A and B are shown apart, each in its own frame.
Chain A
């Protein structure tokens, strides 16, 4: 059953598929096509021009001049014939053309007297549409005009191709970006997953090595420990790299002892020195002891570079040297160098050795091991500290890696020395919130080694419950727990229970910004897992020491009061004592009225107290009072109202305490 009234190209199905591929039908007007249409009209000097596409039933105009409709049925179009051709179709006078002389659009309609159309041919040879010039008078195009018309046709197809490719590219780009994100989070998660059990392995090995062992056993245990620590190094490498790549690695700025750090690196690596190699550490006599910067990252860079130097040097020497190159009022500029007399690096490899997974020789991995990540991390770590790393090397003669870092001078007052001995702490009662049984066990052993008492909560909820029943000196908080995680639990302890008890975060995440997030939530210290006994003990001492200022203390903003009083101290004092006299009473009355469901009194008191809170700029308390007032107005108290009243109560107690200290 074929009732079509128009000619059909032999490859019609493929042609329609090609057209569909461009997704051009029924799209919005587009400057690029409109410009091409105008160009056709100018070139041919005609009042009507268009770019159109022909699908199974219609001719759709992507762009047109002088037509004024968006589509016409295929069977009445002139172009149904043009797409059958491969060349330009020119009808100089339709009146003289047998096919068109009686066409409705010749005798009437568009009154077409002249028609020139050229098929729009895709690169794979399908005529998907046409580009046309039409006039009401007899006309003949010269060669230049015809050539120009075919050039415009090519241009239009080019434009279409470009748009389609752009769409494809965008889609591919999104896929690639998603893949990178997936890779990063996979790496981070995987490293985390590996670190958790490794934490237990290393921790228990440490405990095991402290028990009574014979020499053979001790040797085995030490091997396990070394292997565990090496594995941890590799995982940390991978984690570091994914952090650097996502721009999430933060460089710390803390005072540290530079000389000690260098000596530590030296001592750490001394054990790995081959017997025919001399290992030296040269420090500039004028080098400062204390600087402000990132000790851990300097350590990492030096261990990495020196480790490499020792690995690739069979005889001769390996030298770490540090020189002070500049000394301003605020900064030291130091040049660090690690020089060896090892196998060296061929010149053509010098540029690529800092790239990832690249080692100077393909065979290096087999012969010397390593992940091929080390130098890439080193370079990025140096650059993150605004330094630059350089390498000089001659094969067979040796290599020198050097970098310059700028450290802020440490003000001696900034350096706090903590001299709390174990005994000072006495018998602390500690609450551990941790869900992993291995970690629980490990923490338990470590804590009891310190001589402290430990209670364990499986999750945050349980922790809160224990905290409300018993007195503790300290909370150790895992961040990832079921039911209520470490952040939520801490926020609850600080904001709802109003407890100032020290909280130490323990986490294997070591993700970026996590430390800040911990402090923000109200924690006092942060111990990364796998934790070393000494690190944990130090954290405990720090938070327990008397001069340790709890981060959590309400600060009162007196700027409104000062504006009122013009800074008059007596006035301020008077207002503060008024607050201390009146507000706790009013809060008690509010409690009472709330218990009696006395909506009217609650409403009035809340309203009244709000004005007082506003003067002391206690925005949170003022907001609670607004809520309470609203709930009293609609006469609907809920469990939440009770919460708010309790929080308000605690807040007022807090504020009064702070105000009393000021009086």
Chain B
């Protein structure tokens, strides 16, 4: 399973990707939204993890682009440290499948990923 991870905080991004790889996923990580989007367009992934606040292109924009321009149904999980209800609603409006507040619990993240991929790794 290939996951694309877009998160600008190095420590968090590296931690998450180490964690996911230890669980058997292949993770491509990006600290810039624009690079992440280019990778999504050119490669095949099974799931997108993206922070909402990203330099270049934001998580919202990535989600919108995937759903409306690429017409892809790839599962998307959005991270945010905002606890504002509207942000969560907007994310779902744009077509995100899951919304997780930071700090993200790795165990919960894993459960959600597996649920979305509908497989057990």
With a CB–CB cut-off of 8 A, which chain B residues contact A30? none
Given A607-B81, A608-B9, A614-B102, does the pair A564, B53 have CB atoms closer than 8 Å? no
Partner of B15, one of A582, A608, A615: A615
Tell me if A579 is interfacial: C-beta within 8 Å of chain B: yes
Across the interface, which residues of A come within 8 angstroms of B102, CB to CB?
611, 614
CA distance in complex: A604, B10 (Å): 15
From B11, B22, B103, B107, A575 is in contact (CB under 8 Å) with B11
* A615 to B102 alpha-carbon distance, docked (Å): 10
Q: Are A614 and B103 in contact (CB under 8 A)?
A: yes
**A to B CB contacts below 8 Å, 10 in the list:** A561-B15, A563-B19, A565-B19, A566-B19, A571-B18, A575-B14, A575-B15, A607-B81, A611-B103, A612-B11
Q: A564-B15, A566-B19, A575-B15 are in contact. Are A615 and B103 (CB under 8 A)?
A: yes
Q: Does B16 contact A (CB under 8 A)?
A: yes
A357 at interface by CB-CB < 8 Å: no
Verify if B1 is at the interface (C-beta below 8 Å from A).
Answer: no
Q: Please name all residues of chain B whose beta carbon is closer than 8 Å to the beta carbon of A604 when the two chains form the complex.
A: 53
User: When the two chains form the complex, which single residue of A565, A568, A612 contacts B9, counting CB atoms closer than 8 Å?
Assistant: A612
Closest to B15 in A: A564
Among residues 560 to 605 in chain A, which have CB atoms less than 8 Å away from a CB atom of chain B?
560-561, 563-566, 568, 571, 574-575, 578-579, 582, 604
Indicate whether A582 sits within 8 Å of B16 (C-beta atoms), given known contacts A566-B22, A607-B53, A611-B102.
no
Q: How far is the CA of A579 from the CA of B9 in the complex (A)?
A: 11
- Inter-chain contact B11/A578, CB cutoff 8 Å: yes
Alpha-carbon distance between A561 and B12 when the two chains are bound, in angstroms: 10
Taking a contact as CB atoms under 8 Å apart, the answer to whether B106 and A564 are in contact is yes
Per-residue CB contact flags for chain B residues 50-83 toward chain A (1 = under 8 Å, else 0) read 0001000000000000000000000000000100
Chain A nearest Cβ from B7, distance in angstroms: 8
Q: How far is the CA of A604 from the CA of B9 in the complex (A)?
A: 11
Chain B: CB-nearest residue to A608: B9
Q: Which of A561, A563, A564, A566 has the largest number of chain B CB atoms within 10 A?
A: A564
Q: Is B8 an interface residue (CB 8 A)?
A: yes
Cβ 8 A contact of A564, one of B8, B10, B18, B81: B18
A50 on the B face (CB < 8 A):
no
Q: Which residue of A lies closest to B16 (CB)?
A: A564
**Is A610 located at the chain interface by the 8 A CB criterion?**
yes
Q: Flag if B106 contacts A611 (CB, 8 Å).
A: no
Contact in complex: A568, B81 (CB < 8 Å): no
Interface residues of B in 1-48 (CB under 8 A from A): 8-12, 14-16, 18-19, 22
Please tell me which one of the listed residues A563, A566, A568, A615 contacts residue B11 in the complex, with CB atoms under 8 A apart: A615
Select from chain A the residue with minimum beta-carbon distance to B12: A611
Q: What are the residues of chain A within 8 A of B10 when measuring CB–CB?
A: 578, 582
Contact at B8–A608, with CB atoms within 8 Å? yes
Query: Known contacts being A607-B81, A611-B9, is A565 close to B103, with CB within 8 Å?
Result: no
Residues of chain B within 8 A (CB-CB) of A566 are 19, 22
| Secondary structure dominating the interface of A | helix
Which range holds the interface residue count of chain B?
A: 10 to 19
Contacts of A571 in B (CB 8 A): 15, 18
Q: Which residues from chain B sit less than 8 Å from chain A, CB to CB? A: 8-12, 14-16, 18-19, 22, 53, 81, 102-103, 106-107
CB atoms of B11 and A565 under 8 A apart: no
User: Among the interface residues A571, A574, A611, A612, which one has the most CB atoms of the partner chain B within 10 A?
Assistant: A611
Q: Which residue of B lies closest to A579 (CB)?
A: B11
Q: What residues of chain B lie closer than 8 Å to A608, measured between beta carbons? A: 8-9
Q: Given the complex of chains A and B, what is the CA–CA distance between A615 and B13 in angstroms? A: 11
The one of B12, B18, B53, B107 that contacts A612, using a Cβ cutoff of 8 Å = B12
Q: Which of A218-273 contact B (CB under 8 A)?
A: none
Given contacts A565-B19, A608-B8, A608-B9, whether A574 and B14 have CB atoms under 8 Å apart is yes
Q: A564-B19, A566-B22 are in contact. Are A578 and B14 (CB under 8 A)?
A: yes
Q: Would B103 and A563 count as touching, CB distance under 8 A?
A: no
B81 partner residues in chain A, CB cutoff 8 A: 607, 610-611
Which residues of B lie under 8 Å from residue A561 when comparing CB positions?
15
Besides the known contacts A561-B15, A571-B18, 9 further A-B residue pairs in the complex with CB atoms under 8 A apart: A566-B22, A575-B11, A578-B10, A582-B10, A607-B53, A611-B9, A614-B102, A614-B103, A615-B11
Report how far A610 CA is from B9 CA in the complex, Å.
Answer: 10
Give A574 to B22 CA distance when docked, in angstroms: 16
B9 contacts across to A, CB distance below 8 A:
608, 611-612
CB nearest to A629 among chain B residues: B81
In the complex, what distance in Å separates the CA atom of A561 from the CA atom of B11? 10
Instruction: Identify which of B8, B11, B53 gathers the most chain A CB atoms within 10 Å of its CB.
Output: B11
Give complex CA distance A188, B49 in Å: 63
Q: Which residue of B lies closest to A615 (CB)?
A: B11
Instruction: Give complex CA distance A579, B10 in Å.
Output: 9
Assembled-state Cα–Cα distance A568/B18 (Å) = 10
Residues of A within 8 A of B106 (CB): 563-564
Q: Give Cα A560–Cα B11 distance, bound, in whole angstroms.
A: 12
Chain A residues near B11: list those with CB within 8 A.
Answer: 575, 578-579, 582, 611-612, 615
A560 in complex: contacting residue of B14, B22, B103, CB < 8 Å: B103
CB distance from A563 to the nearest CB of B (A): 5
Instruction: Give, as a whole number of angstroms, the nearest-CB distance from B76 to chain A.
Output: 20
Given the complex, which residues of A lie within 8 Å of B12, measured CB to CB? 611-612, 614-615
**In the docked arrangement, what's the CA distance between A404 and B12, Å?**
60
A residues near B107, Cβ cutoff 8 Å: 563
Nearest chain B residue, comparing its CB with the CB of A622: B103
Complex CA gap A95/B16 in Å reads 96
A565 to B10, CA, bound (A): 15
Which residues of A have CB within 8 Å of B15? 561, 564-565, 571, 575, 615
**Binary contact readout A612-639 vs B (1 if CB under 8 angstroms, 0 otherwise):** 1011000000000000000000000000
- Assembly CA distance A565 to B11 (angstroms): 12
